[in-house]
Structure 1
Amino acid sequence: MVRVFITGSTDGIGQAAAKLLAEQGHQVVLHARNADRAASAKAAIPNAAAILVGNLSSIEETKKLAKDANNAGPFDVVVHNAGIGYGSTASREITSDKISAVFAVNTLAPYILTCLMDKPKSRLLFMSSDSHYSGDETLKNATQSHSYGNTKLHDTMLAKAFARRWTDIQVLSMHPGWVKTKMGGNSAPVQLSEPAKALASWVAGEGSLTKVTSGAFVTTSGESRPHPGADNVNKQEELLEICKSVSGVEVPGE
């Protein structure tokens, strides 16, 4: 049995994987953006261990969520699944912190949570996308960009940066496929069950993805070659510095 925290688990892949894991007897801590979404998620997965609330577009709420998550832990696995910026979730909002909402939710929130939460015992995942291939590895104007592809490249880079630091656990970034979800839309060719099963299997410590080298970018079926810029260590470090500068949160021990 594992204890896992999954952000963005009120719908889509996050909820589907969480439901599978809870049904298998694992301890699943859900995350919702607000109280209304938390109530609907709890109704959908009544056997969840807990549900935490926090708006990831807010730096302060994300910091509080990290504290709440530590109180609900420790966790064997953490999955940074929450995301916006594609399809019906596209946004050009600038948050009260004066950064792009897409950057805040997709890039900065996973960084803050990873830095402030206790390190998971076994595995850590940053949900990426094949859209990351269109991302800008120069990181120019990163905090103001509304580009989904940019933030998914950031997630791939964050996974690699933390994998270099935390060599005792597996850290991955994942492209789940073009999936029939609110974000992916009805024309997407992949059924929700496919990535949900793959993610749940990995969380549970089963399947081939658990054998992949830490830091890798993967699909639901195995390791894949990422955007060339994702492997640039200098750019990985630059991204960490950008996140630190915006949030005031440092990588543990640095």
Structure 2
Amino acid sequence: MSAILVTGSTEGLGRHTAEALLDQGHRVVVHARTTTRLTALQDLLDRGVQAVVGDLADHEQVLDLAHQADELGPFDVVIHNAGVIRGPSVLPVNVVAPYELTARMERPGRLVYLSSDMHYRGRADLAGVDWSGSGQSRSYSDSKLYVTAFAAALARLWPAVLVHAVDPGWVPTRMGGPGATDDLREGHLTQAWLATTDDPHALVSGRYWHHQHTQEPHLAVHDEGFQEELLESLAAHTGVTLAPR
């Protein structure tokens, strides 16, 4: 049995991932943006799931969330599922929060970050980036390129941790919308599988996955120069750097 935290798990892919892992017998901790949102998880809470609460767009709440998580940890796996598709919170939620939680929490054995095939449209350019969310300086595609490059950087810098990025596909969640053409079940299976599998193909860190198959990401993802620029920019904004290996 593994201890697994899934962020953004009140609905959609996060909830399906948490429920699948719970059904497999793992100890699961879910995450909600507010205590009110926990009502959507009551059936899972009744089955023994624990919860952490915090708005990933709010820096102080992210700090508290890291503390809450460590109080319930240590975790074998953290799945950074939470995300938003538009608005000024795109960078704080999709990139800054995963970075800061990773840097501040006790290090797990596995880390999974939700990417998107839209990361291929992202720009590997950090000039003038505003991580604070006071304005929308970057697109959703940019944010997914950044978090995918971050995952690749972690795989390089933390060799003892198994790190992956996952494209769940365009699935009919609240974010994806009713017109999404991909399979919702396929959308959550890969991250749940990567959290626990002993398949040798999945035990190679730093890969980019779609429906349990590896794919080549945007060229900038494995550009170490871009990775370092990204890490330095996030460290300067958050005041926390990644601990050495």
Tell me if 1:120 matches 2:108: yes
Q: Give the letter aligned to residue 152 of structure 2.
A: K
Structure 2 Cα separation of the partners of residues 108 and 217 of structure 1: 20
Q: Distance in 2 between matches of 1:202 and 1:216?
A: 11
The CA distance in 2 between the partners of 1:248 and 1:42, in whole Å, is 36
Aligned-partner residue type, residue 237 of structure 1: E
- CA drift of 1:44 comes to 4.7
Are 1:160 and 2:152 an aligned pair? yes
Matches within 5 A, 1:144-183: 144-183=136-175
DSSP-derived class of the 1:4 partner: strand
Distance 1:108 1:117 in 2: 14
Distance 2:169 2:230 in 1: 25
Pair 1:129 & 2:116 matched: yes
Measured against aligned partners, the alpha-carbon deviations of 1:213-242 in whole angstroms (never above 9, x if no partner) come to 211111122110111111111111111111
Q: Where do 5+ consecutive residues of structure 1 fail to align?
A: 94-100
Q: Deviations over 1:66-122 (max 9, x none)?
A: 11101110111111100002xxxx21x3xxxxxxx110000000000000011102x
CA distance in 1: counterparts of 2:36 and 2:205, whole angstroms: 36
Aligned to 1:142: 129
The number of residue pairs the alignment matches comes to 240
CA RMSD of aligned residues (A): 1.6
Which runs of at least 4 in structure 1 moved beyond 4 Å after TM superposition? 206-209
Percent of aligned pairs sharing the same letter: 38
- Note the C-alpha offset of 1:198: 2.5
Judge conservation of contact 2:74–2:106 (CA < 8 Å) in 1.
Answer: yes
Partners of 1:240 and 1:75 in 2: how far apart?
23
State the match for 1:98 in structure 2: none
TM-score, length of structure 1 as denominator length: 0.89
Segment of structure 1 superposing worse, 148-157 or 164-173: 164-173
Q: Report the equivalent of 1:241.
A: 232
Q: What is the identity, as a one-letter code, of the residue corresponding to 2:171?
A: V
Q: How far, CA to CA, are the matches of 1:209 and 1:114 in structure 2? A: 24
Q: What is the aligned partner in structure 1 of residue 73 from structure 2?
A: 73
